[in-house]
Amino acid sequence: MKFFVDTAEIDAIAELNALGMVDGVTTNPSLIAKSGRDIMEVTREICDMVSGPVSAEVVALDAETMIKEGRKLTEIAENIAVKVPLTWDGLQACKTLSDEGKMVNVTLCFSANQALLAAKAGATFISPFIGRLDDINIDGLDLIADIREIYDNYGFETEILAASIRTVNHMSECAKIGADVATAPPAVIKSMANHVLTDKGLAGFVKDIEKAGITIL
Q: Please identify every residue annotated as catalytic.
A: 83
Please answer whether residues 138 and 171 qualify as being in contact, where contact means their C-beta atoms are separated by less than 8 angstroms. Answer: no
Nearest to 144 by CA among 186, 120, 184, 173: 173
Q: Tell me the residue ranges of DSSP E strands in the chain.
A: 2-6, 24-26, 54-57, 80-85, 103-109, 125-128, 159-162, 181-184
* DSSP conformational letter for 182: E
Please answer whether residues 40 and 12 qualify as being in contact, where contact means their C-beta atoms are separated by less than 8 angstroms. Answer: no
Q: What are phi and psi of 128, to 5 degrees?
A: -75, 135
Distance between CA atoms of 28 and 6, rounded to whole angstroms?
9
